Amino acid sequence: MKPTIQAYQYVFIRKEVEQLLNTYSSVNDQKTVKTVQAFAEERISQLFPENPFEITAFLKEILDIRLTKAKAEKALLDLKVFIEPFQQPEKAQLEKVFKKVKKLPLPEWGALDLYEHTYVGWNDPASQRKYLTFYQDGKLTGISGRLSPNVSKGICSICQKTSSVALFLATTKASSDGTYTKKGNYICQDSSSCNHQLSDYQQFQDFIQLVRFQDKK
């Protein structure tokens, strides 16, 4: 079975389903319900121009006004097998990505649902650092930096959602001598939560570009 869904698309779909459930339980006006359904269908369909059968079948289920929370959860779970999971890299590959780091702490792979990760991020509280790894054009790459231990409520620069965020000061290739970017970005302290909220791949790309751009300034 060829995976057709990316993790961030799954987050997007889940969000649409939540909205539909909300509408079904709170809106009586059939015209309004139909409009909400039409928009949801359009937004989901736009993500999958090739119209794979699993999406068509899924849409049929969630566009039924008799949809319950339990049915929706089951449908979402069934859809999960079509997600392309984050490929867990070898330890050596990660060490190559973060080659300036002497003793690289590793993510707790076993605790991560790789079907719901667009990138993988983990913290090393001892050194107050955060590591982010992801694939760019099929190649494993990464960003690391200092993560403030102070957590507050704010908008995350990656998922763009209100979240428990902390200031992240990246070090990238150009400043791998240990200097940090001058301007930090607030991002989700917990990267798994961030992934569960990241529904737009472009937002993640923009963040990476921003960090690399800030680094050059």
Interaction between residue 194 and Zn ion (CB under 5 A): yes
Residue among 22, 70, 2, 6 at smallest CA distance from 205? 6
Task: Quote the CA–CA distance of 217 and 207 in Å, as a whole number.
Answer: 16
Contacts for 6 with CB less than 8 Å, ≥ 6 apart: 83, 84, 118, 201
Among 72, 79, 101, 188, binds Zn ion (CB under 5 A): 188
Residue among 57, 47, 59 at smallest CA distance from 4? 47
Among 158, 167, 169, 208, binds Zn ion (CB under 5 A): 158
Which residue(s) pair with 132 in the sheet?
121, 143
Q: How far is the CB of 1 from Zn ion (least distance, A)?
A: 30
Interaction between residue 208 and Zn ion (CB under 5 A): no
Site string for Zn ion, 138-157 (x = CB under 5 A): ------------------x-
Given the complex with Zn ion, which of 59 and 194 has the nearer CB atom? 194
Given the complex with Zn ion, which of 46 and 202 has the nearer CB atom? 202
Interaction between residue 159 and Zn ion (CB under 5 A): yes
Q: At what angle do helices 53-62 and 7-26 cross, to 10 degrees?
A: 20
Which residues, numbered 87-126, are part of the site for Zn ion (CB under 5 A)?
none
